[in-house]
Amino acid sequence: MTPLPSSAPCWDLFCAVVDNFGDIGVCWRLARQLAVEHGIAVRLWVDDLAAARRLAPEIDPTRDVQHLDGVEIRRWTAPLPEIEPGAVVIGAFACALPDAFVEAMARRAPRPVWINLEYLSAEDWVSGCHGLPSPHPRLPLRQHFFFPGFDGASGGLLREADYAARRAGFEAERFWSTLDLALPTSDELRVSLFAYESPALGELLEGWQRGPAPVTCLVPEGRVLPGVAAHFGLRDLRPGDRLQRGALTIQVLPFVAQQHYDALLWACDLNFVRGEDSFVRAQWAERPFVWQIYVQQDDAHLEKLDAFLARFCVGLDGGTAQALGSFWRAWNRGRGVAAAWPAFRDALPALAHHAQTWSATIRGAGDLAGNLVQFCKDAIE
């Protein structure tokens, strides 16, 4: 990838934390990749450094300015300190930039490339909107919509250049030993559960508990953990706790820092993920997964879920596709998971093979960070 002109002082990336870790997860991953792989000086503005610290424990939420992994991390305050905008300004997920900063962008010469980094969606309309400009109503500025996506008509998905090498060097036996777990038995299912609260949780755990084969469920500390504790009649669960009920073993993990999350996905037979960042990582992991999409008004999220299923199920036989769709919809609607689980469990071997094919398919869209750098380079030149 050709680097941007050296005269560019930096890129500014603004992140308003809305969904706990989804927004900052994408922004932190993007900022690190731009710095490490493309040599770009990135200023990451974050309005909730405590949330950022969960993903990168080295972050100090009490400091207004700090540096980590080549990224300058700044607290997004109101008002924002007076500062010259960088050559590229990215507002993640339609967050509103401070008015004074936007006015400073208009005064800068040359004016910055302004990017609105949108949410990931598999809907057909994305390809027609990706890259489109939108002029500011009163200032001599325009922003471009940049959509992550699953094909070449989009911006692609975040994937680090060293991902394949790290994946190839992963040692499952060593990973399980760090959790004081033996290697899984031939009939055992190892599952990671990273999820929002769900009314279907108890039904799912009960089914695993009474099932015919052992299930070991790894639950990172997070929003779903109180529901797991309540199901077993406990006030709380903490990292390191282990429970066994019938065929089900629950292992509680500390919240997994972003740089270590991939290993959990690689190790498990099935991964429950949520939001956007973990959703993308599950696809690169080439393992069967279940996506819990962020809830929107009027069930708009279910349309997005169906749009992804329509793409993802291409190449699957009818029975496997039906089992996948039925279980995903039951999990997202909060009911019917017990009835949908047996067929989905039987489909896991076919889905494991399909996950490898899908990963190769979406690699064809390119890496989002690299695509973004090229888009901005073309705009600057």
Counting the structural domains of the chain, the total is 2
Residue of 47, 203, 276, 367 marked active site: 276
Tokens read off for 36 = 């490490």
Q: Which residues contact 84 (CB under 8 A, 6 or more apart)?
A: 9, 104, 108
Residue 19: per-residue pLDDT: 64
Between CA 336 and CA 345 the distance in angstroms is 14
Q: Give domain status of residue 285, yes or no.
A: yes
Q: Give domain status of residue 5, yes or no.
A: no
Taking only the tens place, the pLDDT of each residue in 146-182 is 999 999 999 999 999 999 999 999 999 999 999 999 9
Question: Same structural domain for residues 121 and 167?
Answer: no
Residue of 12, 23, 47, 203 marked active site: 23
Q: Give domain status of residue 81, yes or no.
A: yes
Taking only the tens place, the pLDDT of each residue in 7-33 is 445 999 999 987 667 789 999 999 999
Question: Same structural domain for residues 89 and 205?
Answer: no
Residue 131: what residue type?
A: G
Question: Same structural domain for residues 105 and 188?
Answer: no
Residue 298: per-residue pLDDT: 73
Check if 23 is active-site: yes
pTM of the entire structure? 0.94
Residue 47: what residue type?
A: D
Domain that holds residue 32: 11-157+365-380
Q: Give domain status of residue 357, yes or no.
A: yes
* CATH number, residue 298: 3.40.50.2000
Question: Same structural domain for residues 206 and 272?
Answer: yes
Q: Give domain status of residue 4, yes or no.
A: no
Report residue 94: phi and psi, to 5°: 60, 25
Question: Same structural domain for residues 121 and 147?
Answer: yes
Q: Which residues pair with 134 in a beta bridge?
A: 143
Question: Same structural domain for residues 210 and 136?
Answer: no
Question: Same structural domain for residues 371 and 328?
Answer: no
Check if 180 is active-site: no
Taking only the tens place, the pLDDT of each residue in 99-144 is 999 999 999 999 999 999 999 999 999 999 999 999 999 999 999 9
Residue 5: per-residue pLDDT: 40
